[in-house]
Chain A
Amino acid sequence: MTLIGCHHCDAVAKEPWVPDGGSAICRRCGATLFRRHRKTVEVTLALAVAAWILLILANAYPLLIFEIQGQASESTLASGVSALWRQGEYAVSAIVFLTTMLAPACEVLLLLFVLAPLHFRWRNPGGVIAFRWVERVRPWSMMEVFLIGIMVALVKLSEMADIRPGLALWAFLLLIPTLAGALALLDPEIVWRRIEETK
């Protein structure tokens, strides 16, 4: 018999058997205890690899191309951050950098670093620390919010000038469901058990 605990209210219960894709709900507070995905290591690893490729594309190419009276300007993720920095808005620049570049990159890299060794059965002494950080970084990664920001900017600027989506915007559109899927299919309990087995 395995006991599991609820993150939200600290209730302890016997672990119920749940089919893949199903979830267990805490009887006491109603929070989700876990979503069972026995193949989580493989599936999340595959999605994390895809997310990493998309993340590079989303950072390397322009997001939006803006044309006004024959003059064009492009914006990438990094150019927004650096433009804020040059205007002396250090705090805003740092927050945007953290939430749209650093945290998503860390999240994907940490997942790769934890899951690839588990899948290939390599020894990975850093896996425990890295997986602890996955949950900590998660709230700071806000790519999906950034996407809404892009759409609002598109609407605001479309009256002023010609504005076209760049390659990075399409990468972004694919990246968001990929990363969301990777995290939704992550079953931490299974990962912790696999980490413990390989120790």
Chain B
Amino acid sequence: MKSSTNALGGRHTQCSICNLVMAVPEDVAAEQLGCSRCGAMIQRRKPNSLPRTAAFLLAAAICYIPANVYPIVEITSFGYQQSDTIISGVIYLLLHGNLALGVIVFVASVVVPILKIILLSMLLISVQCRSQWRPRDRARIYRIVEVVGRWSMVDVYVVTILVALLHLGSIASVEVEQGAIFFSVVVVLTLLAAQSFDPRLIWDPIEDGDE
């Protein structure tokens, strides 16, 4: 019998929706219980967490390349055409615009997506190997990844606003390019990857001693 500090340890289980902690009778599997408070089915761990996270991450990593290679917008103003990729847009903002805003966009659209893919892959591998290495820090990394990921949407929104504003024919117009599609798909895929990962798996190999 495992220690009872963990809800997987046998005596208790926790509803993943409303967090109610319930006692599990000895002859019943927790998965057969419904939550007495919110009625949800009890799922001790997110179903197929590792393969689903891995699939979303792989797809995100593949789309990340065209997202950065192809331009995201083409702006025409006064007959002059300019197309921007994610990177060139950031560089422009850093050089000509507001430095603080440039840094935010650089972090949000260049650093965050790639860091998120790398960190989630590392978490995935560590869980797959049932690693016992610094679970507290790995748990913190997951929480940061979860919070920061949404900020990558900034560039998609900038494109949206440009498209909405600049439709003045020959004077100024904006064409959305393939890069924007891939980029927004990358952001959504990494969000889905983070949501499918179950941080409780980090703690499953670590059961005894520390408490």
Q: Contact residues of A with B, CB < 8 Å?
A: 3-5, 7-13, 27-31, 63-64, 66, 68-69, 71, 73, 75-76, 79-81, 83-84, 87, 89, 91-92, 95-96, 99-100, 128, 131-132, 135, 139-140, 142, 145-146, 148-153, 155-157, 159-161, 163, 188-189, 192, 195-196
B residues in contact with A84, CB < 8 Å? 160, 163, 176
Complex alpha-carbon distance, A93 and B149, angstroms? 19
Chain B interface secondary structure, helix, strand, loop or mixed?
Answer: helix
- CB < 8 Å neighbour of B17 from A3, A96, A132, A146: A132
Q: Provide the residues of chain A in CB contact with B199, threshold 8 Å.
A: 8-9, 29
What are 25 contact pairs spanning A and B, CB under 8 A? A3-B21, A8-B200, A9-B199, A11-B203, A12-B6, A12-B14, A30-B136, A63-B161, A73-B165, A84-B163, A89-B181, A91-B185, A96-B157, A128-B38, A135-B17, A149-B155, A149-B161, A152-B158, A153-B162, A153-B165, A155-B97, A156-B92, A157-B162, A157-B165, A188-B18
B154 to chain A, nearest CB (A): 5
Asked whether B143 lies within 8 Å of A31 as measured between CB atoms, the reply is yes
Closest to B22 in A: A3
Q: Which residues of A contact B16 (CB under 8 A)?
A: 7
Nearest neighbor of A146 in chain B, beta-carbon distance = B157
Known: A68-B171, A149-B161, A156-B97. Contact between A192 and B153, CB under 8 A? no
Residues of the B chain whose Cβ atoms lie less than 8 Å from the Cβ of A100: 157
A157 and B73 alpha carbons, distance in the complex (Å): 14
B59 at the interface (CB under 8 A from A): no
Query: Separation in Å of the B82 CB from the closest CB of chain A?
Result: 11
Choose among B37, B93, B97, B139 the residue that contacts A192 (Cβ–Cβ < 8 A). B37
